[in-house]
């Protein structure tokens, strides 16, 4: 829609507000006692007809989600028009006013189902509010008894108009009490409709108590009824009217304490009626009704308060998402389980979902919460009556279970099998694995002690590759605690500048990369930077021994930055030493890929050392599953656009290779050594297929792990452009690279290197 249309809509809204103001003013005029009866009745018809017309405009303008609700509202407004017209035609007060009020009351009941629909917020909400329903219904029943007593005392019980109107009043009163005592933050449309219902209820209740007002003070009835119709028209014109009759318009459920306080007026209803009767504002109220009424309401209130306290106590021991017991309630639940199983020995299993954060980050917390609820259900079903399941926070569950000794499945098999089948949400399958630590929970063993042992076993299961269960053994404690110590040492190395004698030193070494295509003899065209940790006690550690600890400690990105900085500095030193033109490959772990502004910090590092981005290859690891996160793909496209190359490392040993080639701007595929060895085998069809795929995608191939000279010719024939391995040189210190290049004569751009290269390869 263009701006003119929007402006037109705004003008229509201002005109509607002005019209509502005029109708409200006319309603006040109608209610004044000094207005001539004929004039007042005519103005009442104008008010009702105007409200009906404005409501039709509002319905056509906003197009409600539930049209049936607004058919009911328009029917009520049409009834108001009809009763106003009937009053104008009537010349006497022979009861027509009374029946017109009753007609409006009865038609107003049609709105009740739609108002009740706004209160529905799911099964949990309904369970929480059933005491409110009981208490409101109890109060309503007592009011009915009270009113019937008043009607009998005044002789109005035989008047059908009074009986029908009273019944409608009671239903409307119960609905209003239900909303006022349980809900807050309702939509404006619901507030306006309820306000209109309250106005109708007030005039009807007054008419029931003082029937003479309906005939002797018709102007008051017509004026107040007109105000109710104006409120309904205002509800139809408000934009929130689209949601009327849906749970979105019903606000939120109050807390137990708020609901208990807001229901206090209900307790005062019957005593108030008795008080009004005692001062002769209302007819006499039977004392025999007041005493039991107050007693029943008091008992209901005390019962509700007790239920609220019990619910609060229970919620303190329950997880709000899954309704499982939490860490606070688990020890008591475990003791109850032991008593039920006659003191048998139990197992305490700590279940930690693997890589669950990736689901929250890539699919959203709604899917993550749904998965947690489904996992809770599967674990609970797996243990049945022989166990208790607890969620202690995040993606961690604790299961206390007993399994018979002669049973085929132990607790590990039981729990892993429960999570084996894929989960499905929005027609998409999700695989969820878990690392499980198991510790015996025998009689006399403290619960917290067993929990610590299970925690250690769970960490060991994660270190062993995830998706498995381990039973606690004393040896695991040393292994896990050693990993935690290693994380602390890495933190000291990368963040705090720890002393070398305490935490050692991170060393960057370089392995040569050669060109297989350009010339007969391979030439060195670059190096891959690799990190080693010279540990003061454990000796020289390879990346396999500490990289995962760095990622677990949240230091993966910091480690990559450290290695990249050192490697770029080395490359600049080689250029200054006369060994120029080499390219540099550095690895990026998952921590770096999640880092904000990844492309910026890499570009800044290269610019600081005067290195052109085209000489730098950034490697992502194929066997490390990356989430399908658009932000990661965007960051990688950003670094490629800046001139850097993107290589796919360890191709062939994971399960996401083709997905990576599609999602990320990869320029080079690095064959894992397990594929390189096939070059000298009898069947090279797999390598030929990979080569054809890379040609189709315009990607280069680099072979890793080349160790024998006879592998070179077959790889070259397949179109492999570059290679690295022990045949061409092992990883070496940065200071040794220039000498190695000069000694072997394999440097890129060195025309004298061909003959020297033959001897180097032969050796």
DSSP secondary structure string for all residues of 435-450: EEEEEEE-TT--HHHH
**Please, which pLDDT band fits residue 5 given cuts at 50, 70 and 90?**
very low
Summarize pLDDT for 697-718 with one digit per residue, the tens.
Answer: 899 999 999 999 888 989 998 8
pTM of the model: 0.50
- The stretch 121-138 carries a mean pLDDT of 53
Please check the confidence at residue 527 and state whether its pLDDT lies above 90: yes
> Residue 537: phi, psi to the nearest 5?
-120, -35
Half-sphere exposure of 588 (CA within 13 A, CB side): 23
Rounded to the nearest 5 degrees, what angle is found at the Cα of 611, between the Cα atoms of 605 and 614? Answer: 105
d(CA 171, CA 79): 19
Beta strand 396-401 with 346-353: parallel, antiparallel or unpaired? antiparallel
- The stretch 390-410 carries a mean pLDDT of 81
Please check the confidence at residue 336 and state whether its pLDDT lies above 90: no
Please check the confidence at residue 375 and state whether its pLDDT lies above 60: yes
Please check the confidence at residue 289 and state whether its pLDDT lies above 60: no
Taking alpha carbons only, the member of 605, 624, 625 closest to residue 615 is 605
Those residues whose C-beta lies under 8 Å from the C-beta of residue 180, and which sit 6 or more positions away, are 262
**Please, which pLDDT band fits residue 4 given cuts at 50, 70 and 90?**
very low
Higher pLDDT: 100 or 316? It is 316
- The stretch 360-389 carries a mean pLDDT of 86
Q: What pLDDT, on a 0 to 100 scale, did the predictor assign at position 294?
A: 62
Q: What pLDDT, on a 0 to 100 scale, did the predictor assign at position 215?
A: 53
Strand partners, 388: 400
- The stretch 259-276 carries a mean pLDDT of 64
Please check the confidence at residue 161 and state whether its pLDDT lies above 70: no
- Crossing angle of the two packed helices 365-383 and 411-418, in degrees rounded to 10: 140
Torsion (CA) 171, 173, 178, 181 in degrees, nearest 10: -170
298-307, 317-326, 375-384, 716-725: least confidently modelled range = 298-307
- The stretch 16-27 carries a mean pLDDT of 86
* % of the chain exceeding 90 in pLDDT: 17
Summarize pLDDT for 81-105 with one digit per residue, the tens.
Answer: 887 787 777 654 444 555 566 666 6
**Please, which pLDDT band fits residue 9 given cuts at 50, 70 and 90?**
very low
d(CA 162, CA 157): 7
Taking alpha carbons only, the member of 205, 200, 197 closest to residue 179 is 197
- Crossing angle of the two packed helices 474-491 and 447-463, in degrees rounded to 10: 70
- The stretch 369-373 carries a mean pLDDT of 87
- The stretch 427-447 carries a mean pLDDT of 84
DSSP secondary structure string for all residues of 196-248: HHHHHHHHHHHHHH-HHHHHHTHHHHHHHHHHHHHHHHHHHHSGGGGGTTSGG
**Please, which pLDDT band fits residue 287 given cuts at 50, 70 and 90?**
low
Q: What pLDDT, on a 0 to 100 scale, did the predictor assign at position 284?
A: 55
Higher pLDDT: 704 or 306? It is 704
Q: What pLDDT, on a 0 to 100 scale, did the predictor assign at position 60?
A: 87
Instruction: Record the tokens describing residue 98, joined without a space.
Output: 């009374």
Please check the confidence at residue 748 and state whether its pLDDT lies above 80: no
Residue with tokens 């092992």: 730
Summarize pLDDT for 665-690 with one digit per residue, the tens.
Answer: 899 999 988 889 888 877 788 889 98
Please check the confidence at residue 130 and state whether its pLDDT lies above 70: no
d(CA 508, CA 568): 11
Q: What pLDDT, on a 0 to 100 scale, did the predictor assign at position 7?
A: 38
Q: What pLDDT, on a 0 to 100 scale, did the predictor assign at position 1?
A: 39
**Please, which pLDDT band fits residue 265 given cuts at 50, 70 and 90?**
low
Q: What pLDDT, on a 0 to 100 scale, did the predictor assign at position 762?
A: 32
Produce one character per residue of 407-432: b if its CB has 16 or more CB atoms within 10 Å, e if not.
Answer: eeebbbebbbebbeeebeeeeeebeb
Q: What pLDDT, on a 0 to 100 scale, did the predictor assign at position 606?
A: 93
Please check the confidence at residue 629 and state whether its pLDDT lies above 50: yes
**Please, which pLDDT band fits residue 758 given cuts at 50, 70 and 90?**
very low
252 sits in which H/E element = strand 252-253
Give the count of beta carbons closer than 10 Å to the beta carbon of residue 235.
Answer: 25
**Please, which pLDDT band fits residue 567 given cuts at 50, 70 and 90?**
very high
């Amino acid at each position: 829609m263009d701006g003119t249309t929007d402006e037109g809509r705004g003008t229509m809204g201002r005109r509607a507000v002005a019209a509502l103001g005029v109708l409200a003013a006319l309603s006040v005029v109608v209610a004044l006692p000094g207005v001539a009866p004929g004039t007042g009745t005519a103005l009442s018809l104008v008010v009702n007809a105007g409200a009906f017309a404005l409501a039709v405009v509002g319905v056509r303008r906003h197009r409600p989600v539930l049209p049936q609700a607004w058919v009911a509202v328009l029917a009520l407004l049409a009834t108001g028009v009809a009763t106003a017209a009937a009053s104008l035609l009537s010349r006497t007060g022979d009861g027509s006013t009374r029946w017109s009020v009753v007609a409006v009351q009865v038609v107003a009941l049609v709105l009740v189902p739609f108002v009740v629909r706004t209160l529905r917020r799911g099964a949990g909400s309904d369970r929480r509010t059933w005491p409110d329903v009981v208490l409101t219904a109890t109060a309503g029943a007592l009011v009915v008894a009270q009113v019937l007593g008043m009607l009998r005392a005044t002789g109005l019980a035989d008047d059908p108009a009074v009986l029908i109107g009273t019944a409608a009043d009671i239903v409307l009163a119960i609905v209003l009490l239900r909303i006022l005592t349980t809900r807050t933050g309702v939509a404006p449309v619901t507030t306006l409709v309820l306000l209109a219902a309250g106005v109708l209820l007030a005039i009807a209740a007054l008419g029931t108590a003082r029937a003479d007002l309906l005939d002797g003070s018709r102007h008051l009835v017509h004026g107040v009824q007109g105000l109710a119709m104006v409120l309904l028209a205002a509800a139809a014109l408000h934009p929130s009217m689209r949601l009327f009759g849906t749970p979105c318009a019903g606000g939120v459920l109050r807390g137990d304490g708020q609901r208990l306080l807001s229901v206090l007026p209900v307790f005062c209803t019957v005593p108030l009626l008795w008080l009004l009767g005692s001062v002769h504002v209302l007819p006499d109220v039977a004392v025999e009704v007041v005493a039991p009424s107050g007693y029943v309401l008091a008992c209901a209130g005390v019962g509700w308060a007790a239920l609220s306290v019990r619910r609060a106590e229970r919620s303190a021991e329950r997880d709000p998402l899954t309704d499982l017991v939490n860490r606070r309630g688990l020890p008591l639940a475990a003791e109850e389980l032991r008593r039920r199983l006659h003191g048998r020995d139990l197992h305490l299993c700590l279940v930690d979902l693997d890589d669950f954060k990736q689901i929250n980050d890539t699919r959203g917390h709604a899917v993550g919460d749904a998965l947690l609820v489904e996992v809770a259900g599967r674990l609970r079903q797996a243990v049945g009556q022989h166990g208790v399941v607890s969620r202690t926070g995040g993606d961690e569950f604790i299961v206390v279970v007993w399994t018979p000794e002669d049973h085929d499945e132990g607790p590990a098999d039981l729990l892993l099998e429960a999570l084996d089948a894929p989960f499905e949400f929005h027609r998409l399958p999700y695989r969820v694995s878990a690392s499980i630590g198991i510790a015996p929970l025998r009689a006399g063993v403290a619960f917290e002690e067993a929990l610590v042992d299970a925690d250690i076993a769970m960490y060991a299961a994660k270190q062993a590759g995830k998706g498995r269960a381990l039973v606690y053994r004393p040896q695991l404690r040393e292994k896990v605690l050693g990993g935690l110590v290693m994380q602390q040492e890495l933190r000291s190395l990368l963040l705090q500048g720890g002393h070398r004698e305490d935490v050692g030193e991170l060393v960057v070494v370089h392995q040569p990369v050669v060109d297989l295509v350009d010339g007969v003899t391979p030439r060195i065209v670059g190096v891959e930077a690799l990190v080693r940790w010279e540990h003061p006690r454990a000796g020289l550690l390879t990346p396999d021994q500490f990289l995962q600890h760095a990622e677990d400690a949240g230091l993966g990105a910091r480690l990559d930055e450290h290695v990249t900085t050192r490697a770029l500095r080395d490359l600049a030193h080689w250029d200054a030493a006369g060994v120029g033109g080499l390219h540099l490959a550095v690895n990026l772990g998952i921590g770096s890929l999640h880092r904000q502004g990844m492309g910026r910090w890499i570009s800044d590092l290269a610019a600081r050392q005067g290195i052109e981005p085209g000489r730098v290859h950034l490697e992502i690891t194929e066997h490390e599953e990356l989430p399908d996160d658009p932000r990661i793909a965007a960051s990688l496209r950003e670094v490629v656009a800046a001139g850097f190359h993107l290589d796919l490392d360890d191709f062939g040993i994971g399960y996401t290779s083709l997905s990576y080639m599609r999602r990320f701007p990869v320029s080079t595929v690095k064959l894992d050594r397990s594929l390189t060895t096939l070059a000298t085998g009898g069947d090279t069809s797999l390598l030929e297929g990979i080569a054809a795929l890379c040609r189709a995608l315009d990607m280069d191939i680099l072979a890793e792990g080349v160790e024998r000279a006879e592998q070179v010719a077959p790889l070259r024939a397949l179109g492999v452009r570059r290679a690295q391995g022990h045949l061409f040189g092992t990883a070496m210190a940065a200071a040794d690279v220039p000498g190695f290049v000069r000694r072997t004569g394999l440097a890129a751009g060195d025309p004298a290197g061909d003959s020297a290269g033959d001897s180097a390869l032969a050796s």
